[in-house]
Amino acid sequence: MTTLAPAPFALPDFTKPLPSREGDRIIEFRDALREALSEEMRRDDRIFLMGEEVAQYNGAYKVSRGMLEEFGPKRIIDSPISENGFAGLAVGAAMYGLKPVIEFMSWSFSLVAADQLLNNVPKMLYMSGGQWGCPIVFRGNDGAGGQLGSTHSWCVEGLYSNVPGVKIVIPSNPYDAKGLLKTALREMDPVFFLESERMLGDKAHVPEEEYYIPFGQAHLAHEGDACTLVSFGRPVHFCLDAAAELAKEGIHVDVLDMRTIRPLDIDSIIKSVQKTGRVVVVDQCWPFASVASEVVTQICERCFDWLDHPPVRVNSDDVPSPYAKGLEQEFLPHKGKILKAVKKTLGM
């Protein structure tokens, strides 16, 4: 049988300095995602977007607004409500040289495609002896979206990060969202790109000039020496809120935004912990076998002697996500939980 190996995707030049986050142009998180998709689709006609309501409806959350008009129905494709079906289609398309971008309206729905995501996508390159890869970007909303109930509020990174063969990206702001998604669209490995419905309307400076953010490179979002806060995605904002509150008491902390958890920038975490001697990991997954658990394990393995207090985790509570608004807010990591955790490491 004749096979068609996928053409290589040129990786961006990461030696160029990133543009400043400051500037005059402020756009929403969803617009940063759309710009990244559109710029890379103009560059490479092998990229196509598929998912529920991405075309005629302009996307359930308007990330793909206007893209059908520009790229046409062969590249912006509405799918049936069948995650297993269109995830499987993406596997075949990627094996034969295309670059699918699959939008899950919610990562909770990705569980319907678990066999494709956990068995086929991460293992195809290995199982085929390097003949076929699956350079697919799966993206969509992750975690509690605001009173969506237990089955629509999955935070999947704890589950999917257990599987070798995928890269997992969780941006916390529009600037990172654009730079990381552009990098994801150049990757030869499958990428799970986890967004948050609660952040799609967030606004920030996003430069017009082209830029890419490399995977496995954390961002120091706030600097201090009393404790290290490690987080990713939406909880980074809770950490920054807590850091501002602690600063009023003369307690200054490092806040590390990991950006990606596969690969994990453990070196930046170790460097910060060696400075502060204390660490709190904030993660919206459930606590048992979570990303926070893995981060704490690696910290203990690599810099135990630098710790002045045992590492502390702040996770979502170990129960299904509640529907009631007040209960859901308390279920998630929040500023109050983080303040309590930091003060615990300081013996306060």
The angle subtended at Cα 37 by Cα 219 and Cα 7, nearest 5°, is 100
**Backbone angle region of 325, left / alpha / beta, with phi > 0 → left and psi within -120 to 50 → alpha:** alpha
pLDDT in tens, the chain (348 residues): 344 445 557 778 888 888 888 878 999 999 999 999 999 999 999 999 999 999 999 999 999 999 999 999 999 999 999 999 999 999 999 998 999 999 999 999 999 999 999 999 999 999 999 988 899 999 999 988 788 888 888 999 999 999 999 999 999 999 999 999 999 999 999 999 999 999 999 999 999 999 999 999 999 999 999 999 999 999 999 999 999 999 999 999 999 999 999 999 999 999 999 999 999 999 999 999 999 999 999 999 999 999 999 999 999 999 999 999 999 999 999 999 999 999 999 999
Question: Got the DSSP string for 34-57?
Answer: HHHHHHHHHH-TTEEEEETTSSTT
Q: What token pair was written down for 11?
A: 């990786």
83 flagged as catalytic: yes
| C-alpha–C-alpha distance, residues 231 and 246, integer Å | 17
In whole angstroms, give the CA distance from residue 235 to residue 262.
18
CA separation for the pair 233, 200 (Å, rounded): 12
Which CA distances in Å does 20 have to 153, 200, 333? 34, 21, 30
Give the pairing type, strands 47-51 and 76-78.
parallel
138 with 190: CB under 8 angstroms?
yes
Q: How far apart are CA 135 and CA 122, in angstroms?
A: 10
Q: Which of 83, 103, 187, 197 is catalytic?
A: 83
Domains of the chain: 26-205 (3.40.50.970), 219-345 (3.40.50.920)
Nearest one of 249, 322, 325, 300 to 281, comparing CA atoms: 300
Contacts of 14 (CB under 8 A, 6+ apart): 212, 214
pLDDT the model gives residue 1: 34
What is the structure's pLDDT at 339?
98
Of 53, 152, 245, 334, which is the active-site residue?
Answer: 152
Tokens coding 118: 């956990």
pLDDT of residue 110: 95
Question: Is 152 annotated as catalytic?
Answer: yes
Q: Give me the phi and psi of 290, to 5 degrees please.
A: -90, 175
CA distance 42 to 134: 21
pLDDT of the residue at 2: 40
Residue 8 has a pLDDT of: 56
In 3-state terms the chain splits into helix, strand, coil percentages (rounded to 5) of 35, 15, 45
Given a contact cutoff of 8 angstroms between Cβ atoms, the answer to whether 90 and 46 are in contact is no
